[in-house]
Amino acid sequence: MADFLTTAEKLEQFRERDAKVNAMGGPKMLEKQKNLGKMTARERIDVFFDKGTFVEIDKFVTHHSTFFGMDKREVPADAVVCGYGKVDGRTVFIFSQDFTSMGGSMGEWQANKICKILEMAMAMGAPVVGFNDSGGARIQEGMFSLSGYGKIFFRNTRASGVVPQITCIMGPTAGGAVYSPAIMDYIFMVKGYGQMYITGPEVIKAATGEIITNEELGGAVTHTKISGYAHWACEDDTDCIARVKELLSYLPSSNREKPPVYPCEDPADRCEEKLNTFIPNSSNRVFNMRNLIKLVVDNGEILEVMKDYAPNMLTLFARMNGQTIGIIANQPQMMSGCLDVNCSDKAARHIRFCDCFNIPIVTFVDVPGFLPGKGQEWGGIIRHGAKMLFAYSEATVPKITVIVRKAYGGSYMAMCSKDMGPDMVIAWPTAQIAVMGAEGAANIVWRKDIAAAEDPEAKRAELVQAYDELFNNPYIAASKGHIDCVLEPKLTRPTIISALDAFKDKVDKLPWKKHGNIPL
């Protein structure tokens, strides 16, 4: 007996159904999205993946809700486009919320689709990227949508450290919906329409009387500068997608791999004469650590993570001889490079990400100490600073420390001193490794001698010089192996590259444990 429909008719039926889902929320909603300057969920996917590589999963999934007339309402693809494809030839999994379909709201089945993508990515060992553009929990589905979020948080957490998880805030993200991005590794936000907050301006106004705009409360600039919750603020969808691809180029696909190595035209043995004169003659003069690092890494190229937050610390990705490295560096141009609460968190997170994903860590040091003051002490600098000590001590990837100038007191250790387990500590002749600067030391230790002297100022200068000559150099530390190698600055690039090569297969295992208890 022949089927009810012919093969040609079945094909036609498929094409009709497929087109209906592809049409998303319909022309009016698509127009609205366009007028806001936003791409649609499908356009974002088109721009993101290598041409013709995207495979959609669960395209015909529908919601099963019956409340409030939902049984009569179609929501194409349940307002999220999911699947996988290639980015620069490597597999990446994606979910892209479709705001044109019921505001991209999260129902039970949208959540199930996203969970499936997270599970596939974990099993395959490939990164997950999310394009968020949603009005949040689908109100008509009540607690089922909340449970959907919960399932996603659970899987985000299980995937943490297994595959890179990157999220782009390309529309509203409100309430508990912010917590999936918060658990993921990196957050990109688009200025103007990417917004995140737990409670919106209306609720805040009702609860506290405070008046604030959406953008001011939870826009890209707010979260990259003030809260430090997001890592990059982007101009528009195109800029955002390009930056995600750039980040992916530095990362391995999973914790089972090393990062990809790219052909490198910048010579591995390049000596950089400018470095020999880079450090100012006076310890009180600042210099730009970013520029110093650019002279060392491949082609002067860096990818800066959280550029606008805690700028006294630089957290970067770069390449050395084609190989990805993570960089932690003090920035003497900002707060003299002192360590504070925010920069300690920023650095510790970067160290831990690199360690999760087999990325060697290079630390550049010019640190005068922890920032003094009641604000820092009450803000928990002890706990936050401890995160850096913990993260460095726990990291088993190759670690290289380069001390270019000051390395004082506790901050010396927090910047991966020899005792924190780096494989190689390099110091420039300009390095000063001491408990504190000569001025402070002389004033504390010889305060009475200075006061009793006939000419206290001359005595002070004499003692400062004596302390400076004895301690403010790399040689005392080098005499007991706390520095492995004192180096002419111009040789920094070839020396780091050879150390990365020498230690690339090092074995460093932590004792068995469920997990450590980092001071959060």
Candidates 173-181, 289-297, 409-417, 420-428: pick the segment binding ligand HXC (CB under 6 A): 173-181
- Quote the least distance from Cβ 138 to ligand HXC, whole Å: 4
Candidates 48-56, 131-139, 463-471, 491-499: pick the segment binding ligand HXC (CB under 6 A): 131-139
CA dihedral 159, 254, 494, 267 (to 10 degrees): -130
Alpha carbon 257 to its chain centroid, in Å, reads: 19
Candidates 136-144, 267-275, 321-329, 470-478: pick the segment binding ligand HXC (CB under 6 A): 136-144
**Coil, strand or helix: which one is 310?**
coil
Mode of pairing for the β-strands spanning 361-367 and 399-408: parallel
Nearest Cα neighbor of 420 from 371, 376, 387 is 387
Sequence-distant (≥ 6) Cβ neighbours of residue 384 within 8 angstroms = 340, 341, 342, 344, 345, 348
Q: What is the CB neighbour count within 10 angstroms for residue 214?
A: 17
**Coil, strand or helix: which one is 293?**
helix
9: tokens are 């008719």
Number of residues that bind ligand HXC (CB under 6 A): 16
Candidates 159-167, 171-179, 304-312, 340-348: pick the segment binding ligand HXC (CB under 6 A): 171-179
User: Among 83, 127, 135, 259, which residue interacts with ligand HXC (rule: CB under 6 A)?
Assistant: 135
112: tokens are 């199930």
User: Among 21, 61, 111, 137, which residue interacts with ligand HXC (rule: CB under 6 A)?
Assistant: 137
233: tokens are 């603020």
Binding string, residues 71-110; x marks residues near ligand HXC by CB under 6 A: -------------------------------xx-x-----
> Does residue 117 bind ligand HXC (CB under 6 A)?
no
Q: Measured from the CB atom, is 174 or 297 closer to ligand HXC? A: 174
Q: Measured from the CB atom, is 98 or 366 closer to ligand HXC? A: 98
Helix (H) or strand (E) holding 92: strand 90-97
- As beta bridge partners, residue 401 has 363, 425
> Does residue 149 bind ligand HXC (CB under 6 A)?
yes
User: Among 164, 172, 252, 326, which residue interacts with ligand HXC (rule: CB under 6 A)?
Assistant: 172
128: tokens are 């997950």
Q: What is the CB neighbour count within 10 angstroms for residue 27?
A: 10
User: Among 142, 161, 176, 421, which residue interacts with ligand HXC (rule: CB under 6 A)?
Assistant: 176
> Does residue 219 bind ligand HXC (CB under 6 A)?
no
Q: Distance between CA atoms of 217 and 200, rounded to whole angstroms?
A: 8
- Quote the least distance from Cβ 146 to ligand HXC, whole Å: 5
- Quote the least distance from Cβ 69 to ligand HXC, whole Å: 11
- Quote the least distance from Cβ 149 to ligand HXC, whole Å: 4
Buried b (16+ CB within 10 A) or exposed e, 10-23: eeeeeeeeeeebee
Q: How far is CA 166 from CA 124, 159, 186, 353, in A?
A: 16, 12, 5, 12
User: What is residue 511's DSSP assignment?
Assistant: P
Span 369-398, contacts to ligand HXC by CB under 6 A: none
Sequence-distant (≥ 6) Cβ neighbours of residue 386 within 8 angstroms = 519
Q: Measured from the CB atom, is 176 or 409 closer to ligand HXC? A: 176
Q: Measured from the CB atom, is 102 or 397 closer to ligand HXC? A: 102
Is the torsion defined by CA of 46, 47, 52, 56 positive or negative?
A: negative
- Quote the least distance from Cβ 175 to ligand HXC, whole Å: 3
> Does residue 138 bind ligand HXC (CB under 6 A)?
yes
Q: Distance between CA atoms of 501 and 70, rounded to whole angstroms?
A: 60
Q: Measured from the CB atom, is 137 or 402 closer to ligand HXC? A: 137
> Does residue 474 bind ligand HXC (CB under 6 A)?
no
Helix (H) or strand (E) holding 100: none
Q: Distance between CA atoms of 355 and 255, rounded to whole angstroms?
A: 9
Q: Measured from the CB atom, is 172 or 260 closer to ligand HXC? A: 172
Q: Measured from the CB atom, is 65 or 323 closer to ligand HXC? A: 65
Candidates 172-180, 311-319, 394-402, 458-466: pick the segment binding ligand HXC (CB under 6 A): 172-180
User: Among 85, 127, 164, 175, which residue interacts with ligand HXC (rule: CB under 6 A)?
Assistant: 175
> Does residue 155 bind ligand HXC (CB under 6 A)?
no
Candidates 137-145, 279-287, 308-316, 512-520: pick the segment binding ligand HXC (CB under 6 A): 137-145
Decide if 220 contacts 187 (C-beta within 8 A): no
User: Among 114, 177, 381, 426, which residue interacts with ligand HXC (rule: CB under 6 A)?
Assistant: 177
> Does residue 136 bind ligand HXC (CB under 6 A)?
yes
Q: Measured from the CB atom, is 176 or 379 closer to ligand HXC? A: 176
**Residues binding ligand HXC (CB under 6 A):** 102-103, 105, 135-140, 146, 149, 172, 174-177
